[in-house]
Amino acid sequence: MFNSQTKHIFISYKRNIHPDEQVALQVFQALSQQHKVFIDQTMSIGTRWAERIETEIRQADFLIAFLSAWSTQSEMVIAEIETAHHLSKSQQGRPVILPVRLAYQEPLVYPLSAYLNGINWAFWKDTEDTPRLINELLQTISGTPLTIATQKPPSSPVGERSRTTSPSSLPHPFPSAQPISLEMPEGTMESQSAFYVERSCDAVALQTIEQQGVTITIKGPRQMGKSSLLIRTIKTAVNAGKRVALLDFQLFDKAALTNADLFFRQFCTWLTDELEMTDKVTEYWNLPLGNSQRCTRYVGRYLLKEFGNPLVLAMDEVETVFDTEFRSDFFGMLRSWHNSRATTPIWKQLDLALVTSTEPYQLIDNLNQSPFNVGQVIDLEDFTPAQVSDLNRRHGSPFNPKEEQQLMALLGGHPYLIRLALYSVASQRLSVNELFTNATTDNGIFGNHLRNHLFRLHNQQELVKAMFQIIRQNLCQDERIFFRLRGAGLVRREGRIVLPRCQLYAEYFREHLG
């Protein structure tokens, strides 16, 4: 019987993984005696899945997040934590996120580090530890903060925010894959990864950044390898004697993205901190000038002048600014910095590297004020059949030539999904036949990825309607909507027709958006 002390609790975990699912179910059963607890296994057939997940997180007082080597790479777990994080800012701190590390002490990587670093967490060691964990969670829900383990896992080092760490007990790979260890296909790849696929544009980016006073734009849909190429570009810049300041624009909070003055000030403060210089932002902000002028003076007359060495300002996820009212001011400012190299020597010290998944030309009114159509523009494309074949060999050839063709037909060279398929079969998590048979099911190897897309689409009806029209008629009448879907990595254009990016998406969304 529930009473006024009853709380709504949402459990976020990685399905079909041990011990994640077992511990999550035990906690669910124990907490359900006193509280209203939601876990995705309680949904009945026919439930509008994505809508239900969002509703349950919105209503929750607490979100328990089980963190393991696998769950920290799960798109759905990350999406659920991200949703809870943003809701808590607009719902007076609800839901409260309660991280539980399942025998996992690695530093969190971005974006989880941005959401969870600084939050107290609980630690589960093994099955004998479950009763203690349940008791600690019950006490926390009643008002006692979670304990922090004796030694808190270190934060991700600067410049490695997106780096992934491999789990401690990977499935045993095929002997033919030795001596190279397999790598989980999640997040940004290390610059020396044996599984990184070099494309022709890589050489262009690396050669360009070795020059002085350059602007590079890396474009492409989600999960194309943009951030991985950026990391390789950064390493080349460092080897060339340049200092790099990497700003990931996803870390700007909503307050900054709705207030131009706050955004420009935070931008300058953040850049100053990355360079480990004295913050003089307040001094420059007292000038009776506009935000772009203040920011330009601060960077040109203070940071670059005092720093005195070549600097690369690398900006990831800059599309975060595209929906703001001050986007033209900010990007116009970057364009002016690019142009100033021709007349003011100090600006030749500054390289700009921008990464975006959205087509910027649709969102900037005056192209003469855009930094995206000058310098070196790199547009990433899907893997070719030859590149997939090469990557298959690096994984120990788990797919034969005919199966490689089937894989290309299903995934269309999608870099992340290709790597996920090769890794999953090479590590013997499933057979090739099982991969193809269960490709579009929620329990299949692509289920987590597909559910994440569905979750992010469900409350954006104009995108849902357009996606369904593309599947049914190969048509998208609104260019703005097309570029949003393309930026999300869901569609592509061939001539005058618009298609789902791959057959996997066409089959899955035809069933779930209908």
- Cα of first residue to Cα of last residue in the chain, in angstroms, is 39
Closest CA to 303 of 344, 249, 246, 346: 346
> Angle 503-512/401-411 helices, nearest 10 degrees?
50
Residues of the chain with pLDDT under 50: 1, 149-180
How much is the pLDDT for 189?
Answer: 83
Indicate whether 137 and 262 sit together in one domain.
no
152 belongs to a structural domain: no
Contact present, 503 and 409 (Cβ < 8 Å): yes
Residue with tokens 């060691």: 125
Indicate whether 228 and 308 sit together in one domain.
yes
Closest CA to 213 of 134, 287, 312, 100: 312
Sign of torsion over alpha carbons 266, 271, 274, 275:
negative
How much is the pLDDT for 128?
Answer: 95
Q: Give the domain range for residue 88.
A: 8-141
Domain boundary among 379, 408, 428: 379
- Tell me, letter by letter, the H, E, C secondary structure of 209-271: HCCCCCEEEEECCCCCCHHHHHHHHHHHHHHCCCEEEEEEHHHCCHHHHCCHHHHHHHHHHHH
| Encoded tokens for 340 | 């100033």
Please name the helix (run of DSSP H) or strand (run of DSSP E) that holds residue 98, with its range, or none: strand 96-102
How much is the pLDDT for 483?
Answer: 87
Q: What is the C-alpha to C-alpha distance for residues 80 and 103, in angstroms, rounded to an integer?
A: 21
Query: Which string of DSSP letters, residue by residue, matches 140-174?
Result: HHTTPPPP--SSPPPPPPTT-TTB----SSPPPPP
- Determine the length of the chain: 514
Domain count, the chain: 3
Indicate whether 431 and 308 sit together in one domain.
no
Indicate whether 394 and 362 sit together in one domain.
no
| Model pLDDT for residues 251-281, shown as the tens digit of each residue | 888 889 999 999 999 999 999 999 999 999 9
The mean of the pLDDT values for the chain is: 88
Please name the helix (run of DSSP H) or strand (run of DSSP E) that holds residue 278, with its range, or none: none
pTM of the model as a whole: 0.77
| Encoded tokens for 428 | 């013997």
Residue with tokens 């989600």: 222
62 belongs to a structural domain: yes
Helical H segments across 72-214, by residue range: 75-90, 112-116, 130-141, 200-209
463 belongs to a structural domain: yes
Q: What is the C-alpha to C-alpha distance for residues 390 and 192, in angstroms, rounded to an integer?
A: 17
182 belongs to a structural domain: no
Domain boundary among 330, 358, 379: 379
| Model pLDDT for residues 72-114, shown as the tens digit of each residue | 988 899 999 999 998 998 899 999 999 999 999 988 877 888 8
20 belongs to a structural domain: yes
Indicate whether 371 and 425 sit together in one domain.
no
Closest CA to 415 of 380, 450, 439: 380
Indicate whether 418 and 269 sit together in one domain.
no
Amino acid at 389: S
154 belongs to a structural domain: no
Indicate whether 388 and 361 sit together in one domain.
no
427 belongs to a structural domain: yes
Q: What is the C-alpha to C-alpha distance for residues 278 and 284, in angstroms, rounded to an integer?
A: 13
Sign of torsion over alpha carbons 125, 130, 131, 137:
positive
Q: Rounded to 5 degrees, what are φ and ψ at 67? A: -105, 125
Indicate whether 401 and 446 sit together in one domain.
yes
Cβ-Cβ contacts under 8 Å for 415 (sequence gap 6 or more): 197, 223, 224, 225, 382, 383
How much is the pLDDT for 168?
Answer: 30
CATH number of the structural domain spanning residue 316: 3.40.50.300
Indicate whether 369 and 416 sit together in one domain.
no
Residue with tokens 């104009």: 462
CATH number of the structural domain spanning residue 25: 3.40.50.10140
Indicate whether 241 and 272 sit together in one domain.
yes
356 belongs to a structural domain: yes
Domain boundary among 351, 379, 407: 379
Q: What is the C-alpha to C-alpha distance for residues 114 and 103, in angstroms, rounded to an integer?
A: 21
Indicate whether 234 and 360 sit together in one domain.
yes
Indicate whether 353 and 243 sit together in one domain.
yes
